[in-house]
Structure 1
Amino acid sequence: MVSPMISRLALLASLILTTPTVAGSLEPFAGTFKGTGTARIRPTEPAEATRCRLTATLSDDGRVLKQSGQCAVPGHKVGIGGTVRFDPKSGVLTGSWRDVATGRNGALSGRFDGAAMRLTMIVDNPAEGEPPSYTMSVTPVGDGYRFVTRAPGVAEPMANLTFGK
């Protein structure tokens, strides 16, 4: 059985998979990113220091972003992967994420709001005590981005990380 911490880290890492800095463009996210911040396992538990490293590549004329990488809290590391597709005609972002260690996965959907993204993540087979969906705000900052993830009805963020190249 996979520990709840590893499952939550996989979920956190998957949230990073959709992070463009220019409205309508995934291009700024090709490359290697490092991120730091905090994340919590459950809404009622304390936030823990979190570190991530991601590599992203573009395909399909810049409309598809494929990312892979790893996130860690003290004592736990989780490998992640995912794909995000941007449809410039409709303005819709869609995608999927997966925890490569456990096979957990889910779907991503949303839109650009100026340069920021507003996304919903649906979790397939949520772990005990885990919400079935999250909202995510991804905002450009310098040469990277900041993202904040929230569970429904919870004031404190589930994840709050800043990434840079």
Structure 2
Amino acid sequence: MKKRHEEWYKLTGETKPVAANTLAPPMRILALPGFQEMEDKLWLYTPTHGVFTPEMDILINDLSMKTFGIVADDTLFFLPEGYSQLPVWSDERMEIEDRYDDHEDQFDTADATDDEAVDSLLVLGLDFRDGKGQPLRCTKLFCRQAEAAAKGIMGKMPDRAAAGLESWANKLERDAREHMNKKRTG
């Protein structure tokens, strides 16, 4: 990973990523609409044998599309038709494999653990940590999309102002509910 970072650093003209140069704090993913609900659902409905139910897959893809403009499958490299029939030693097959490697090398979070993915995304200006500093349960579900959007490969970054307003609105609603509950009980 360190070698890949050094290569990337040289290829980018030895400049830091834009998000790392800004003074703005990283965008908290939990403050974005839908992510707290997703975290709650992941706490309640853990996947059986590593596979989510179709309903959860739909919720994950919808949230990803609303937030980043892409789903996880959009970040994958698709092999062209007839790839499996090409001889292993053919130049065409080797070129396709090189393109696959180049595509996957763009994503530092692809093979990373949750902690490593959180660190990589933090440098890009996205905070995938909870209030205690632990990685969110949804980190692996959204890390490729978030990284693609943050690096400008594909997709879009969430609106920072909307994230702040949404968290403020959620706090006001929560405070109002607590106040009404206190009034009712006494």
Relative to the length of structure 2, the TM-score reads 0.23
Q: Which has the higher contact order (CA 8 A, sep 6+)?
A: 2
Higher relative strand content: 1
- What TM-score does the superposition give when structure 1 sets the normalisation length? 0.24
